[in-house]
Amino acid sequence: RTVYLNGEYLPENEASVSIFDRGFLMADGVYEVTSVLGGKLIDFDGHAVRLQRSLDELDMRSPISKEDLLEVHRELVRVNEIDEGMIYLQITRGAPGDRDFVFPDPETTTPTIVLFTQSKPGLADNPAALKGMKVISIEDIRWGRRDIKTVQLLYPSMGKMMAKKAGADDAWMTEDGFVTEGTSNNAYIVKGNRIITRGLSNDILHGITRAAVLRFAQEAQMEVEERNFTIEEAKDADEAFVTSASTFVMPVVEIDGVSLGEGVPGRVAPRLREIYLEESRKAAI
Ligand code: PMP
């Protein structure tokens, strides 16, 4: 596999980063995951815009222009022959000569940028989407700026492990009883023809897939309500689902051992998945 590191295309085993990199020492970095379908990028623009916002919020400069970034994504897809899969992009504040809490001078320390591909044949025809996911609920104990897509993923990682131990597929996090989001996705419930999801704030990541799905839902005459909902309300819903760049729309059929509806994917989530895949393929670049 060929990867991209600071302006160079390299075999993955020849790409290395300093032990003083602040991404490594302090999780001082941001990332994006863009999916690839039919060798094309899904919503590259959305990811590029959110990346710039994450960098701005952390006072970090981008080491690359948006045009060059697109070129790197395309080149990696080409050389690694990715038909379906993901591109992971990470920018960290770089490696000053020593460990220090104070941000280094951006004139002397340039950010580290890494991109690599992950081939996932069958990403769109994922059999998991037919079965639906089981989730457990856990307390959301993350920091207060979840809108910034940082590489601080320890708690989401622990959440997935808690889910796995409980025989579930993922965890939904709650704060004051209200669902914030999944460990790596946005969370939704469905009541009748209405889709309910938490509104945007610093409490959740502003999902790129979320924005697209809500737009498609409205275009398909479905009702969308952006508001907080409790885990109890979720257990009582007709359907539930999650969205993310790597899973698109994924039905949720069980919450904390409680089956939703018939305990199988309902009507709305599979339909939204279909629309999302169709529209995204059309708009892919
Ligand atoms: N919330 C969290 C916490 C996430 O990690 C992700 C995926 N990275 C999402 C939501 C979904 O965002 P997107 O649709 O942009 O992948």
ipTM entry: 0.99
For residue 254, give its domain range.
128-283
| Angle (CA) 78 54 118, round 5° | 25
- Mean per-residue pLDDT for 240-269? 97
Ligand 1 center to 244 CA (angstroms): 5
Per-residue confidence (pLDDT) for residue 182, from 0 to 100: 98
Mean residue pLDDT of the chain comes to 97
Q: Are 141 and 271 contained in the same domain?
A: yes
Q: Are 145 and 183 contained in the same domain?
A: yes
Q: Are 168 and 273 contained in the same domain?
A: yes
Judging by beta carbons within 10 Å of its beta carbon (0-12, 13-18, 19+), is residue 26 exposed, middle or buried? middle
3-state secondary structure at position 85: strand
Q: Are 156 and 62 contained in the same domain?
A: no
pLDDT grade for 265, boundaries at 50, 70 and 90: very high
Ligand 1 center to 28 CA (angstroms): 18
Q: How many domains does the chain have?
A: 2
Q: Are 169 and 133 in contact (CB under 8 A)?
A: yes
Ligand 1 center to 98 CA (angstroms): 32
Tally Cβ neighbours within 10 Å of residue 270: 19
Q: Are 70 and 166 contained in the same domain?
A: no
**Block residue for tokens 């965890």:** 171
Residue of the CA atom closest to atom 7 of ligand 1? 184
Query: Could you report the per-residue pLDDT of 12-26, keeping only the tens digit for each?
Result: 999 999 999 999 999
Query: Could you report the per-residue pLDDT of 183-231, keeping only the tens digit for each?
Result: 999 999 999 989 999 999 999 999 999 999 999 999 999 999 999 999 9
Q: Are 230 and 262 contained in the same domain?
A: yes
Residue of the CA atom closest to atom 4 of ligand 1? 184
Per-residue confidence (pLDDT) for residue 273, from 0 to 100: 98
User: Hey, which of 36, 244, 273 would you mutate to test ligand 1's pocket, going by the most ligand atoms within 8 Å of its Cβ?
Assistant: 244
Query: Could you report the per-residue pLDDT of 164-180, keeping only the tens digit for each?
Result: 999 999 999 999 999 99
Ligand 1 center to 108 CA (angstroms): 32
The domain boundary residue, chosen from 119, 152, 169:
119
The domain boundary residue, chosen from 97, 119, 141:
119
3-state secondary structure at position 163: helix
Per-residue confidence (pLDDT) for residue 143, from 0 to 100: 98
Per-residue confidence (pLDDT) for residue 55, from 0 to 100: 98
Give all strands (DSSP E) within 17-84, no chain letters.
29-37, 40-41
Q: Are 106 and 47 contained in the same domain?
A: yes
Q: Are 186 and 226 contained in the same domain?
A: yes
- For this structure, is 40 an active site residue? no
User: Hey, which of 143, 151, 175, 185 would you mutate to test ligand 1's pocket, going by the most ligand atoms within 8 Å of its Cβ?
Assistant: 185
Residue of 131, 149, 164, 235 marked active site: 149
pLDDT grade for 130, boundaries at 50, 70 and 90: very high
CATH value at residue 91: 3.30.470.10
Ligand 1 pocket by C-beta < 6 Å: which residues?
33, 181, 184-186, 205, 207-210, 243-245
The domain boundary residue, chosen from 100, 119, 138:
119
Q: Are 133 and 109 contained in the same domain?
A: no
Q: Are 143 and 230 contained in the same domain?
A: yes
**How far, in whole angstroms, is CA 59 from its chain's centroid?**
22
Q: Are 246 and 86 in contact (CB under 8 A)?
A: yes
Q: Are 107 and 238 contained in the same domain?
A: no
Per-residue confidence (pLDDT) for residue 10, from 0 to 100: 98
Q: Are 198 and 226 in contact (CB under 8 A)?
A: yes
CATH value at residue 182: 3.20.10.10
Q: Are 109 and 134 contained in the same domain?
A: no
Query: Could you report the per-residue pLDDT of 37-50, keeping only the tens digit for each?
Result: 999 999 999 999 99
